[in-house]
Each structure stands twice: as C-alpha cells, then as structure tokens.
C-alpha cells in the first residue's frame, strides 16, 4: 500500500479519499498517490489490478506534467470521453473495484473509467455450430458483447439498458431490445421479474434463466440460451428481449416458443428443399427419441399383434434368453446410455472418445452376447441416443430426455393406450405453458397475431 499522506510540503488529500481508503484498506492493490509539480498537485486513487496502467499514464499522468496550470488540467480531465458522473459513496466503492480512477484536483473530484479487461476476446461457437454462418460467438466481456451485437444490428432503435444486481458480486446485467419491434407488455414483465431478483449470485446465463422462470418445477425451459450473434440479431428483429450478463459468454432470449428450440440458424442459410428436408428430419428425430422406447415396450410386452407377424416374431426371437420383462431391459439400457452421454459431456476431450468406445461398442456387444438385452433393443437405444442429439438447442434436448422417461413410465403402467394418452398429456403440458405471457406451443398460422390480440382484449 502506497501511502504518502505524511510527506511534508503536500496539501492534505480530500476527506473523501481518506474515507474511501479506510474502507478499502487492508488490500494490497490500492494505489493512493499524489502528483506534484511546481506548487500544484493532484491526487489519484485506484485499484491497481483492474486499471489499465498504460492508458492511465498516457491520458492522465503525462499530461499533468505537461500542462501549464491546474485549471487547464482540470478542464482537460473534464473533456476526457471516459469520464463518469459522480455517484453515491457506496456505488463509488463498487466502481473503484471494477476499474474506475478517482482524481482530485484542488477541490474538484473526477471519476474516470480505466477498466482493464483481459477477458474480452471473441469466442468460437462451440454449442451451436453451423456449417455456414458466423463462426465466432460472443465474448465474456459485456461491452465487447454489446459491441458485437451493435455491429451486426446497426439500428438506432436498438436500446441497451443496464442494471446492477445488488448481490455480493454486484453483477451487471444488460437488456437489449429493438424499441420498434418489442412488445411493451413483455418488456415490462421481464423488468418486473428483475425487480424482485433479490441478492442471489449468478454464475451464468443458465443460472439467471432458471431464476427468471416462475415455476420451480417446470419441465421445459422458458427462455433460450444462445451463443450465436446471428440468432440474437434474428430474434431482436422479431421483437424479443436479449438479456446479457457480464462474465457469461451466453445470452438469454425471452420470450420463446417451442419452435424456437427446434430451429437451427442453418435453416436460414440453405435453399428451400434442403431446409424443409432437415426440418422434417429434426421433427422425426424428436418423435423417435420421445416415442421409440415406449413403443418398444408396447410391442414386446403389451401388443405384439400391432406389428405384422414376421416382425413380431423377429422381435420376440431376439428376446429369447433375456431373463426379465422388456421394461426393465429398456430402463437398464436407457440408464447406461444416459450415463454415457453425461460422462462424455463432462470428461476432458482426450478421454471422452475412449469412454464412448468402451461404453458404446463394447458394452453393447457384450450385453447382447450375455443375453442381458435383445439386439433389437440395442438398435432402438442407439437410434434414441442419436436422435436426442438432433435437437439443436441443448436445454430442449435435456428436457426431452426427461420427458421420455415420464412417457415410458406411463406406457409401462397402461400399455398402448397409455402411450397414446400420455403423449396427449405431454402436448397438454406444452400447450398450457406460457413464456412471459406468450403461449408456448401453438401452431402459427397467418392470422396468429389477430387471434392473440383477440384473445387478450
């Protein structure tokens, strides 16, 4: 701690400085230093580790020694672009800890922003890769993030609103929206949710999203988390609100509907026929990974007569020697596939391929040879595992994994009818859900807006 208060020949530092110093004290990186030349002097107070020293030297310290008088220096400081208005004392402390510099010239005190951020590189898109489209995602620094979005969406109607959450880390949250497109009701609703956000600590966008959701036991995500700038711009243009957190490379998009989770940005970059084909493929994948385990239980244990005779015999033949009913078989295999998925997600990249090989290939073959499962079950389970990954947004694919189990339980209890009725139940859950006042699942026809408005009035 550099403290030169006692040096003779120097005027006293302002009272505010002493007060602040007292509060910041036992920290090693607090710098409180006087600048002095020919009778006039200035005081600097900042936290060394978060301030960009070079810029400070260039824009403050050197001009101080070159300027002729105290007045010209203070008017020079006043004209700097990174000057911040003086806030209250408690907030001042927060600002100092993120990179503000306090300068006292005579009895005038200025606050300048010299934030040093080493975390502002733009990241690659990892979670939602596309073949075409931008390869770079967002940044962990919120200013870089807003900059990236502004560069792509050059429109004066794009509004940026920041607020600081009063939790122990004083996190900065920024709302972005297109003022012309956004639905004011939804914007108000989102702001209202932020008001009673409390003092919880957020680690990522996913964490915040979870908190913004009303229901604790919701099965489906009611906001979308993305790292793709093109998806953000696309959604801004649709009148949605983007919520960014300082320090998280993902943003939250709200409100969302079910179909948002089923669309990849790639859909916009291909020709019509290809896009239609991939979308169709995706929905078929959705149905396969949701229904196939339950269908297997139905056609082996409840109604083998549904399938044509040859197929029914093949399935039954494959199960010869399997010592327990089909539902235990399905649970057993699903359990291992889920374990495998979890494991390969959490492991370092170098190890995860080993895990997949051991788990997928060896376990599969050995399980059939040991007559613990039928070989058709292996096909079913791999088809299910693959088609789970076809859902573009991760949260939805996690949700579908859970839903699959619920449907499976319903089918085990009630057979073929249970499968059909349970499926309707799932649609009911989706239809009944709302995301910030918007219906979650509804078929968007041409006059959707008319009908929504008709409904609201």
Partner 1 sequence: MSRFLFYLILVNMLANIIALTPRVLVAGNDNGTILSLILVLPVIIIVSYIIISLFRHFPGQGLPEILKTYTPKWIATPVLLFFSVCWYFAGLISLIIYTSIIIRFVTPDMHISIILLTFVLVITYGILMTPRGIFYLTEIIFLIIVPFIAFILIKGYSNFYFQWDYVRVAIMHINHLPDYAAFSSSLYISIGIANLVIFNRFFTKLKKPTWKGMALLTAICTFLLLSTYFIPVGLGGFDSLDNVLYPWIMTSDSMRMKYGVIERILFFFIGAFLVLAVVSITMLWHVSLQLLSGAVQFKRFKWKRYNLTTPFFIVCFWAIAMYEIATISLDGLYRSFRIFDEYFLPVIVFLLIGCLLLAKKGAASKWRESEK
Binding site for partner 1 (CB under 8 A): 302-303, 305-309, 311, 413-418, 420-425, 427-429, 431-432, 439, 441-443, 445, 451, 454-455, 457
Q: Sort residue 239 into left (φ over 0), alpha (ψ -120 to 50) or beta.
A: left
Q: How far is the CB of 243 from partner 1 (least distance, A)?
A: 27
Closer residue to partner 1 (CB): 106 or 437: 437
* Distance in Å from the first CA to the final CA of the chain: 64
Residue 380: partners with Cβ closer than 8 Å, 6 or more residues away? 292, 293, 296
Q: How far is the CB of 284 from partner 1 (least distance, A)?
A: 13
Q: In what order do the strands lie in the sheet with 40-47?
A: 30-37, 40-47, 100-105, 108-113, 83-84
Closer residue to partner 1 (CB): 68 or 424: 424
Q: How far is the CB of 268 from partner 1 (least distance, A)?
A: 23
Closer residue to partner 1 (CB): 343 or 429: 429
DSSP assigned state of 280: H
Please report the sign of the dihedral spanned by the C-alpha atoms of residue 55, residue 59, residue 61, residue 62: positive
Q: How far is the CB of 83 from partner 1 (least distance, A)?
A: 52
Contact 378/391 with Cβ under 8 angstroms? no
Q: How far is the CB of 275 from partner 1 (least distance, A)?
A: 19
Decide: helix, strand or coil at residue 4.
coil
Q: In what order do the strands lie in the sheet with 251-254?
A: 158-164, 172-178, 241-245, 251-254, 224-226
Closer residue to partner 1 (CB): 320 or 454: 454
Closer residue to partner 1 (CB): 315 or 390: 315
Q: Give the containing element (helix H, strand E) for 421.
A: helix 394-432
Could you write out the DSSP letters of every residue in 83-121?
Answer: EE----HHHHHHHHHTTEEEEEETTEEEEEE-B--S--P
Q: How far is the CB of 384 from partner 1 (least distance, A)?
A: 18
Query: 3-state secondary structure string, 235-256?
Result: HHHCCCEEEEECCCCCEEEECC
Q: How far is the CB of 310 from partner 1 (least distance, A)?
A: 9
Q: How far apart are alpha carbons 135 and 240 in whole angstroms?
A: 23
Closer residue to partner 1 (CB): 71 or 451: 451
Q: How far is the CB of 450 from partner 1 (least distance, A)?
A: 9
Max Cα-Cα span within the chain: 104
Closer residue to partner 1 (CB): 272 or 445: 445
Q: Give the containing element (helix H, strand E) for 343.
A: helix 326-346
Q: How far is the CB of 403 from partner 1 (least distance, A)?
A: 14
The two structure tokens encoding residue 203: 């680690």
Closer residue to partner 1 (CB): 306 or 402: 306
Give the pairing of strands 224-226 and 251-254.
antiparallel
Closer residue to partner 1 (CB): 81 or 444: 444
């Amino acid at each position: 701690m550099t403290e030169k208060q006692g040096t003779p020949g120097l005027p006293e530092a302002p009272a505010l400085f002493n007060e602040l110093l007292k509060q910041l004290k036992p920290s090693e990186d607090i710098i409180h230093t006087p600048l002095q030349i020919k009778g006039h002097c200035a005081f600097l107070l900042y936290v060394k580790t978060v301030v960009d020293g070079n810029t400070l030297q260039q824009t403050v310290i050197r001009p101080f020694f070159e300027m002729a008088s105290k007045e010209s220096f203070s008017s020079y400081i006043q004209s700097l672009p990174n000057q911040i208005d003086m806030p209250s004392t408690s907030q001042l402390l927060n600002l100092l800890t993120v990179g503000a510099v306090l300068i006292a010239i005579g009895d005038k005190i200025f606050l300048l922003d010299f934030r040093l951020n080493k975390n502002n590189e733009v990241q690659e898109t990892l979670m939602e890769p596309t073949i075409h489209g931008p390869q770079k995602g967002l940044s962990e620094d919120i200013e870089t993030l807003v900059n990236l979005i502004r560069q792509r969406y050059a429109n004066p109607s794009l509004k940026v609103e920041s607020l600081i959450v009063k939790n122990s880390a004083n996190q900065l949250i920024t709302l972005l929206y297109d003022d012309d497109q956004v639905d004011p009701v939804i914007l108000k609703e989102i702001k209202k949710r932020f008001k009673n956000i409390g003092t919880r600590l957020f680690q990522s966008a996913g964490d915040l999203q979870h908190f913004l959701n009303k229901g604790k036991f919701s099965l489906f995500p009611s906001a979308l988390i993305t790292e793709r700038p093109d998806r953000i711009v696309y959604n801004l243009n649709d009148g949605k609100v983007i919520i960014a957190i300082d320090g998280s490379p993902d943003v939250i998009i709200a409100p969302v509907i079910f179909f948002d989770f089923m669309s990849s940005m790639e859909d916009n970059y291909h020709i019509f026929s290809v896009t239609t084909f991939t979308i169709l493929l995706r929905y078929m994948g959705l149905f396969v990974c949701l229904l196939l385990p339950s269908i297997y239980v139905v056609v082996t244990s409840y109604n083998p007569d549904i399938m044509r005779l040859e197929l029914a015999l093949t399935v039954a033949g494959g199960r010869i020697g399997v010592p327990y009913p089909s539902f235990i078989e399905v649970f057993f295999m699903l359990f291992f596939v889920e374990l495998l998925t979890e494991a390969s997600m959490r492991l370092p990249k170098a190890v995860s391929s080993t895990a997949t090989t051991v788990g997928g290939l060896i376990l599969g073959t050995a399980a059939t040879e040991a007559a613990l499962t039928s070989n058709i079950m292996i096909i079913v389970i791999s088809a299910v595992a693959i088609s789970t990954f076809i859902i573009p947004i991760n949260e939805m694919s996690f949700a579908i994994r859970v839903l699959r189990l619920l449907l499976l339980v319903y089918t085990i209890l009630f057979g073929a009818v249970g499968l059909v009725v349970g499926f309707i139940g799932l649609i009911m859950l989706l239809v009944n859900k709302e995301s910030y006042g918007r219906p979650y699942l509804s078929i968007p026809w041409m006059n959707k807006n008319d009908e929504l408005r008709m409904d609201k009035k």
